[in-house]
Structure 1
Amino acid sequence: MAKLISPELFSWFVLPLLIFCSRIIDVTIGTIRIIFVSRGKKHLAPILGFFEVLVWIVAISQVMQNLSNFVCYFAYAAGFATGTYVGIIIEEKLAIGTLVVRTIVDKNEFELKEQLANSGFGVTVVDAEGKNGDVKIIYTVIKRKELQEVIRIIEGCNSKAFYSIEDARKVSQGIFRSGTSSGDRTSIFNLFRIHRMSGLNKKMK
């Protein structure tokens, strides 16, 4: 490539651009790989790790061969920052993983339960005691891509409802929308055992 264009243009523009793009690729892959590891995707993470390191070696070798070119340093750093952002955006679009949505309400719990159930979500209601009296804790386990729909349902039924969202590393059984696999679920009964052990059913809100 250097023979097709002037050496100066290649050194100060083309080479930094290639380093920048390489860093975007390898850091994007790395960001997604880390997220896959946290989600328990043990078969996909090593494959991504292979390509991540392969691209990184190409990028760092070019930097080491051109230590006097400070533009390569900026391209390397800028590619890292951009790749991190791009990786997060891609992961959000993929919406990989399962979530546990915990909603605490002191009224309209029946309406919320019915709305979630009618939309195809599994729902379990637990009695609890809050600061100002009795409350209901409504649990539902969903795919990440369904989160915005669930939030709309919650806020539509009770705009003052308190809800929290947690990642579920593994789930099984329970009631789920059609098309979800049983290998990526956590037992709803195990969820409530953890709930009782951690004392979450004690005076919340």
Structure 2
Amino acid sequence: MKKDYPVPAGYLERETEVKKSRFIARVAPVGSRDELKDWLEKAHQDHPDARHICWAYQIGRPGSAAEAGMNDDGEPSGTAGKPILNVIQHKDMGDVLVMVIRYFGGIKLGAGGLVRAYAGAAESVLSEVGRIVHKPVKAANITMGFADEQPLRHWCDVNAAELESISYGSSVTARVLVPEDQMQTFTAFCDSHKLNYRFET
């Protein structure tokens, strides 16, 4: 079983200034390349006049991330994306994207100055963003009677499961995201209430 690991609790933005250059750092939780593209597109829409939008990301568990990447976006190679990724790895956080938007202030910073500025911007936002623990989950589809909805909602609240969707017809159908460490409790609950459930593969 995959271990739990910290991920950003949400989106956060922080701005720093180095020798008149503005560095706007954004952190966002990402679980796929599509989400990564969406966040990058938004950054380009929000800041069409920025000189550089550099970024790094890591998806999966820190230390053995399934996927990681970085981009210097025109800055000298290794002076932007890599320092950002180094800070992400040092923070021991997964499923995370950090973008740093730079408005050039007219004073060149040099390679060492750029590394410090981008790492500092990433540090400023990552040190402030909240963390939540990512727990591996399994999705289950449940069919039940109307009287069973409230007990199921209560079970989800108590056991940190997420009632993702519910629909009403001749019976009630629900999709629940069950933490992997609560699987046995969940199946016992369903069996005791005679609920039909099926795990998605």
The verdict on a shared fold, with TM-score over 0.5 as the criterion, is no
Structure with the higher strand share, 1 or 2: 2
Larger radius of gyration: 1
Higher RCO structure (Cα 8 Å, ≥6 apart): 2
